[in-house]
A and B are shown apart, each in its own frame.
Chain A
Amino acid sequence: MGDYFSKLFDTSDFPARWHCGDWSEFHGFLHIGSDLAIFGAYMGIPIALITFLWRRKDLPKPIPLIFWLFGAFIVVCGITHLNEAIIFWHPIYRAAGLVKLATAGVSWLTLAFMIPALPHALALQTPRSLERRVEEVTVALRRERDASAHLAAIVESSHDAIISVDGDGAIVSWNPGAMRLFGYGADDALGQRLDLLMPGRGDKLMLAGSQGDVAEFEEVQRRSDGSSFPAALTLSPLLGESGERRGASLIIRDITATRNAEVLFQRAVEASPSGMVAVDAEGAIVLLNSEAERIFGYEHNELLGEPIETLVPEGSRAAHPGFRRDFVLRGAERRVMGQGRELTARRKDGRTFPIEVGLNPIEVGGEQVILSAIVDRTEMRRRQDALEEKTAELERSNADLEHFAYMASHDLQEPLRMVVTFMGMLEGQYANRLDDKAKTYIGFASDGAKRMKQMVDGLLGYSRVDIRGRTFEWVSTRTLLENVRASLQLRIRELNATVQETGDLPTVRGDARQLEQVFQNLIANALKFCSSDVPPSIEISCEERAEHWLFSVSDHGVGFDGAQSGRLFQLFQRLHERSEFAGNGIGLALCKRILVRHGGEIWAEAEVGVGATFYFTLPKNLEASE
């Protein structure tokens, strides 16, 4: 062994490799060149590794150590290859053996460290995964930045004042809303105490806020110009990451508009001419106006909080809560209460009175409140009763009058007939014994009696319109017209007249006999009041209107003064002298009475010497008047 180390570089015992075997020059230098090239490269690799280690001092253990070992392994490998080249000329096999031993030792050492480090090495991320991770982190960071920018924007644009103070009570931040609301500039408040905004109160408030829980309350605030506004405040403590108290934040909202709306609502309720009572879901009165207090006879605010049943008469009180529940359960809708029933309410003194109630369900903060408008109907009912009584009285007296007219005209017939009959007998049997004067007298007397008979007959017919009217049926007005034409046939032929309808004539509901009378009177009148120079031409037509049929009968006769047309339909009124046109002034009054009974109207338009048109209407829906 000792011999070995003393002769470490002694080459005398071995021939140089060139002389061992038959090396061709090429073959020898292929080995020598390659070994030298490997040696050179193996000396460079550790330099690169050291440079890398020098730059990347952050590499986790045991990576740097393995790098060092690997570097040493490469260096000894390189020396082994150098020795292989030297041995071609100087056979230093002893030294080379030592170098190989060193190489083996360093190799095993490296392997020994590498095996346990393998999991660490495998865990090392690839640049690609690192890139991805970096990207994720970047996105998350950007999102966080956007979110906080968003939050900042919300705070910036809020109409509410948002103010924060630190643990010492100095203002740390305040938003433009706070500047606007309190009327200060951007830098007026930063670093100041909250007493600036709320003199004598701000600091205490913030101290309480940073110590206590979230608090909400309302109080009046003052602007820098001295004016004030009602505000809703939310005071919250600001907590650090570990829950430590770091100050407080204060949000102040101007609630002037809400307050105004409240005032408006209260004034509107108060101004209502009806009694207004609002009831919550439990039936407690939560709001009422002074009219309601007046109607029910209570003092101011005496009813607030009382159950609504206080105002319900004893008899219906027990059932009332059930009605209320039903109303809400059935999906409360705005409506009039107790339709078709007579509702009563109870006054404080126990008296009951008729009312009318409109129910308006309103949702307030998720709770159903029913606002009722209540009208005291006492006076209305009194008037209604009086009106009904008056109407009944009128109907009675009308019926009495009709009956009277009917009886009177009926009973008048008899004595009248006596006058007419006996005057006639005088005229007939005593004609040759009477002088002219006597005959004139008799003439006047019987003329008067005949006229009176006509008038009494007319009056009788007039009073019979209602008393003896028949029930309504469907009547073809065309048929009526045919009947009238037939009954006036002689007269029409005599006058060479034309009675022509234009267009369709409808079927209407009515008393056929009476409606025929209307056509008869109007057409007979048109024939009577014709002008003497041309044959009468009478036109009948009908137009359909929304609610009624509009009939017209027009002629080209003598006409009359249109201004007098109102008088035309009054009983016994005439617009022509008896010497010109006979008649008793009943016909048109009768027409009017018949049409009134049918729910229609009649009127006339005319011009002297040009002609007249009579219009009348009949409702299309006669149920109401039947």
Chain B
Amino acid sequence: MTARLHPLTFVVGAVRELLALIAAGATGLLVGGLSTAFYFTLVGLAFGLLFHVASWVTFTYVLHEDRIEFRRALIGRSVKTIPRDRIRGVDISASLPHRLLGLAVVHIDAGADGGEGELNAVSLAEAERLRGVLLARDAPVPPQRALGRMRRRWYLYAPLSGAYLLTPFALAGSLLGTVYNLGDDLGLITRERVESLGHDVVGLPTVLVLVLVILMLIAMPVMSVIAFTLFNWDFTVRERDGSVVAERGLLTRRSVSLERRRLRGVELADNPFERAAGVTRLGALITGLGDAAQRGRLLPAAPRAAAEALAARVVGNVPGPLTAHPPAARSRRVVRAVAPPAGVAALAVLAGQPWVAGACAAVAVLAVPLGLDRYRQLGHATDGERLTVRSGSLRRRQVVVEHSAVIGWRVRQTLFQRRLGLATLFAALGAGDGGCSATDMSEEGAVALAAAITPAWLDPFLDGPPGAGAEPTRAGGHRT
């Protein structure tokens, strides 16, 4: 049966062009003069519409017994075939225009060797039918199991992360930029107008400027909650057919499938504000996916207990309590935090810049508690199956990985660490950003921890029995 996409598809594709057309038309009418650039824009829009209609006419898909074919015949002819037994997942998503028209985009994922196909867009009913037909196998589809879900209240944590606080500025900036570009294209922006606008702004009364600034400050957290909610609405983590699926979004629903087979561990990250509120972010460490914070996100903001519970369902319990690192590490953390600003301050004194020197000295004093906190956050633990290490203060990360995910060890010791009897242990991972580090462990502790996790690798190189004066760890965790 040969089928086409839904006839309204080109409407969605053209919505952006139509919006631009309306905006340009309104601006043109407001000013009262239609310049050549405006006509060029019109011609461009017409071509865009034509293209959308043509690609709708020339694209067909056929569902066979054993395969699904996508045929495209716009310029060249192309047929893409996906064998039905290779299909691993069928995701349905819909942006706001799609939803208004009752359409949905079907995304067919057939793993690395089968490729993927997209039907943009079909009616919602057809999408559901396709999913039902394509995923119906001999074996019944394993039921979905919900692993975790955002609560309403958690959206209020958005301002803590800081990432969305600048949303009003970004919005205002992009709006101004669009207006400027549009005006420039239509020949509305002249030197005189810009200058007179500048004079008007400078001439505003101080009170008005103050009010604007205060409004902006109030808008920052409010807008950040709104933006955060738009992106992460109804954030749900499910278990489906060997994958962990994270779905999110209000206007555009996004779903990311993370294969269990490639999941190596999780990462809990927070900053001092989030720490004070007991909030943390959870990400997954996936082989071949470097970005745990964005694509591998499992919870964008949640109370620590909820995040740890989800982590436990995804990889297993977070080992604890963490073993603190030796006291020698404390002075090293403090020195390393204080040294850069103090050094700059000394240079500034030599160069005769008292103001710079004073500012740097103040920063250096503030760096002392930072260094102390960095030391307090250092820690590691293992429970025989999983290893966890924690470090950082302004951005604290706690990584939890399975022992079998460790693909190598690196121990680094600088001259200063050698004097203090410290060493930094890196566990190399084939996921995330390549590894995690336990900074400033004691020398014996680092070797003992590595030996406890992978005894077979270290024993040939150790002289005596490992773990003299070692950490409270249990041996175990051979690579299977």
Do A and B make up one complex?
no
- Residues in chain B within 8 A of chain A (CB atoms): none
